[in-house]
């Protein structure tokens, strides 16, 4: 299993500002995943963060808007830049546990409200 801690758990931000979300895992993992969950919606993958290389972004998400850092095998940050009310969502990080299956573990999420 893996235990994931996300900070902050929630925040209210002014439009035009940026927020950096931290994700800490209790074990070393190769990849970390960042998801967005808009109100009442399912999860959408933003990007995959690899240690030592640039993140891989999904269609509709760009590095300038969602820069990601992955300085080591247990930590990653996602920044939501130049925020607008449309960025109000829950942002979650995720990792896979060890073993030969696709069981993933998620942080509790960061609830972002942009006003």
Residues that bind another protein (CB under 8 A): 4, 29-31, 33, 35, 42-45, 48, 90, 92, 94-96, 99-109, 111
Nearer to another protein, 87 or 107 (CB): 107
Of 85 and 99, CB closest to another protein: 99
Residue 104 CB, nearest distance to another protein (Å)? Answer: 6
Q: Are 94 and 106 in contact (CB under 8 A)?
A: yes
Find the shortest distance in angstroms from Cβ 70 to another protein.
13
The C-alpha angle with vertex 96 and arms to 91 and 102, in degrees rounded to 5, equals: 110
Sign for the pseudo-dihedral over CA of 78, 28, 109, 106: positive
Please identify, using beta-carbon distances, which residue of 35 and 66 lies nearer to another protein. 35
Between 15 and 63, whose beta carbon lies closer to another protein?
63
Q: How far apart are the first and last CA of the chain?
A: 37
CB of 65 to another protein, least distance (A): 19
What minimum distance in Å lies between the beta carbon of 27 and another protein?
13
Quote the strand ranges of the chain, DSSP E: 4-7, 10-13, 19-25, 31-37, 43-50, 56-57, 68-72, 75-80, 89-96, 104-106, 110-114
């Amino acid at each position: 299993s893996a235990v994931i801690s996300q900070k902050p758990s929630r925040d209210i931000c002014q439009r035009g500002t940026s927020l950096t979300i931290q994700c800490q895992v209790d074990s070393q993992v190769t990849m970390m995943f960042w998801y967005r969950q808009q109100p009442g919606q399912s999860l959408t993958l933003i990007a995959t963060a690899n240690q030592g290389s640039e993140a891989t972004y999904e269609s509709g998400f760009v590095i300038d808007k969602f820069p990601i850092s992955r300085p080591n095998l247990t930590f990653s940050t996602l920044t939501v830049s130049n925020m607008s009310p449309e960025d109000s969502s829950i942002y979650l990080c995720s990792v896979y546990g060890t073993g030969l299956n696709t069981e993933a573990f998620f942080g509790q999420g960061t609830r972002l409200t942009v006003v």
